[in-house]
């Protein structure tokens, strides 16, 4: 197992998510409140990834019809429904990605209180030296007006022995959320939210 210096940063380089998705060989998994950051910022990288044979894209977002979504809006002092508008933009971009790539976008919605966001590459089955993830733990929910991205962010690489614990815990978290979340059809969601 190769050892390297591991840097933990309050805010990662804005290009980190795009670079990770460009590196992805087999799978990209995204867990987020509304997903706008990685979906919008990495649109072209995701399209390119989905054009690869047997590529898998799994996305779990918070259900905007759930009470936990409204609670998050209150927590972030979102009186103009910015979070919901970003969620709808994500949905439209996902449809755009689907059309441009002819790839399969697997989308699920959950209702749990969000406490983190994740971008995971190549860890769908057993993680290997290519498996990496961006972990963003949301700030203390008792602090009103603080947005999720303002929490602690870091890059976790399975190849680094010191990252195994955080990597495996967050990978298991994603797997459990994937089992619990409800599969949704993008076209039906677009209609439900008056976007088509």
What is the pLDDT, as a whole number, of residue 67? 96
Domains annotated for the chain, with CATH where assigned, are: 16-192 (3.30.870.10)
What is the pLDDT, as a whole number, of residue 1? 38
What is the pLDDT, as a whole number, of residue 36? 85
Nearest Cα neighbor of 65 from 191, 193, 183 is 193
Model pTM above 0.95: no
Q: Mapped to the 3 state alphabet, what secondary structure does the chain carry?
A: CCCCCCCCECCCCCCHHHHHHHHCCCEEEEEECCCHHHHHHCHHHHHHHHCCCCCEEEEEEECCCCHHHHHHHHHCCCCCCHHHHHHHHHHHHHHHHHHHHCCCEEEEEECCCCCEEEEEECCCCCCCCCCEEEEEECCCCCCCCCCHHHCEEEEEECCCHHHHHHHHHHHHHHHHHHHHCEEECHHHHHHHCCCC
What is the pLDDT, as a whole number, of residue 147? 53
Average pLDDT of the chain to the nearest whole number: 87
Residue 96 above 70 pLDDT?
Answer: yes
What is the pLDDT, as a whole number, of residue 148? 55
Average confidence (pLDDT) over 17-31? 95
Rounded CA-CA distance 129/23 in Å is 12
């Amino acid at each position: 197992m190769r050892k390297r210096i591991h840097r933990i940063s309050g805010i990662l380089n804005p290009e980190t998510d795009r670079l990770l998705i460009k590196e992805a060989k087999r799978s990209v998994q995204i867990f987020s409140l509304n997903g706008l950051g990685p979906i919008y910022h990495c649109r072209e990288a995701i399209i390119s990834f989905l054009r690869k044979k047997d590529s898998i894209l799994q996305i779990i977002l918070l259900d905007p019809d759930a009470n936990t979504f409204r609670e998050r809006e209150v927590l972030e002092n979102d009186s103009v429904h910015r979070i919901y508008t970003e969620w709808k933009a994500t949905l439209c971009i996902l449809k755009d990605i689907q059309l441009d790539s002819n790839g399969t976008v697997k989308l699920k919605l959950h209702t749990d209180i969000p406490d983190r966001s994740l971008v995971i590459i190549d860890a769908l089955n057993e993680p290997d030296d290519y498996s990496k993830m961006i972990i963003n733990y949301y700030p203390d929910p008792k602090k009103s007006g603080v947005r999720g991205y303002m929490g602690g962010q870091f890059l976790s690489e399975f190849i680094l022995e010191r990252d195994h614990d955080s990597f495996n815990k967050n990978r298991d978290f994603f797997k459990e959320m994937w089992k619990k979340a409800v599969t949704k059809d993008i076209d039906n969601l677009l209609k439900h939210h008056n976007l088509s």
